[in-house]
Amino acid sequence: MHEVIVIGGGPAGATVSRILAENDVDVILFEKKKVIGLPVRCGELLPHPSEMRRLIPKVKDAEELIEPPKNTLANVTEYTELIDPIGNKIKSRFKSNIIFRDKFDQALVKGAMDAGVVVKCSSPVISVSGNGSVHVNDMGTIKQVKARVIVGADGPLSLLTKGFRENYEFSVCYVSIMENVNVNENVVQMYFGKEYAPGAYAWIIPKGKHVANVGLGIREHFSDSVKIKKYFQKFVEEHPIASKLLDGGRIISSSSKLVPLDGPFSNVVIKQGICIGDAGGFVMPHVGAGIPNALLTGRIGAEAILNYLRGKGKLSDFEKKWRKEIGPRLKNSLRIRKFTDLLLSNGSIDSFFPKRGQQYFEHLIRCDFPFPLRLFSFYLNLRSKARNLA
């Protein structure tokens, strides 16, 4: 019997575990992977703390949480560049920390262990019961473990949210680490176009020393029945700009993952538990970024659990806390994703960014949705409905 069971050793699980243990809570963390952080399944980009101050100015500890340990930092970029299907470029200043995701996750888990968390790797949780217990395959032995609180930090297909994902949209992402590439090490590039990343975007994120994180996402609604690896190969080999930068590059590792795109799931607080990070759908829908929200929901979740264990609150307070702190930005992010979906559906995206992109790009990457764009989105929505009725 433990006070808290945490399922998953990513940034969300490690953060909630560490904070709870630092407050003398008995925590056990189960992680299905043999090695924390591998394989790498994300773009490895964190907004610089100075950007977090602009993104969520009312969250006091956001800068501290987002600062990566020095030995996990691969590169620092100053700009983000958006490239449309015909090669038009929009550049904006947006400072980013590019990390070694495996080292980053391992550092967070080490911090949790140093605080007193019991961490069990190679121990996948196979079922969760409503009575506050889990069944875990602990190094080949099936065990039942009980706790007062269960935290789901086990990714977008979390065991705890199995019944709350109906009609929810995910993007499939393919990620590769490539060496021997010739990219601008000060600029993160985002490419859009239905030929290469239908409904989403492709990226080249420089890690320094001619190494880059290269990947893309696709959405079923916008894509043909082509496997994502084919889209990736086409992007690397045929894109008129990206292929030149990546020519001669060698893939070190590759992986794929699902990314939640509709915001937090309908229920992130369940009987005797909460869901944080990707397990709760806490991903920015317009760009698919999940690490900052994983760290933040880990801290917000820890506060709610501490109050619950001490008899000073309910687990449902987690819902109120995250809505207050990060809810507005998540809401804006979903609005922006739906706006770009309308541009794609109406065939307006190719004309919008060359004409208005530079004016609004800086707002969009920082989750601002200015009033003129809201009006334009309303107009596009009306036009789309009229077409469907015709």
pLDDT, tens digit (0-9, with 9 covering 90-100), for 239-294:
999 999 999 999 999 999 999 999 999 899 988 899 999 999 999 999 999 999 99
**Distance of alpha carbon 150 from alpha carbon 7, whole angstroms:** 8
pLDDT (0 to 100) of residue 226 = 82
Same domain for 69 and 124, yes or no, is: yes
Same domain for 307 and 238, yes or no, is: no
pLDDT (0 to 100) of residue 66 = 95
**Distance of alpha carbon 12 from alpha carbon 375, whole angstroms:** 36
pLDDT (0 to 100) of residue 349 = 74
Task: Give every residue of the chain whose pLDDT is below 70, as ranges.
Answer: 390
Same domain for 234 and 306, yes or no, is: no
In this prediction the pTM is 0.94
Same domain for 143 and 182, yes or no, is: no
Domain of 67: which CATH number? Answer: 3.50.50.60
Same domain for 131 and 267, yes or no, is: yes
Same domain for 277 and 352, yes or no, is: no
Is residue 389 packed enough to be buried (19+ CB in 10 Å), middle (13-18) or exposed (0-12)? Answer: exposed
pLDDT (0 to 100) of residue 1 = 84
pLDDT (0 to 100) of residue 345 = 79
Same domain for 140 and 88, yes or no, is: no
- Total domains in the fold of the chain: 3
Same domain for 192 and 277, yes or no, is: no
Contact 232, 204 (CB under 8 A): no
Same domain for 50 and 195, yes or no, is: no
pLDDT (0 to 100) of residue 207 = 98
Domain span including residue 356: 332-389
pLDDT (0 to 100) of residue 390 = 65
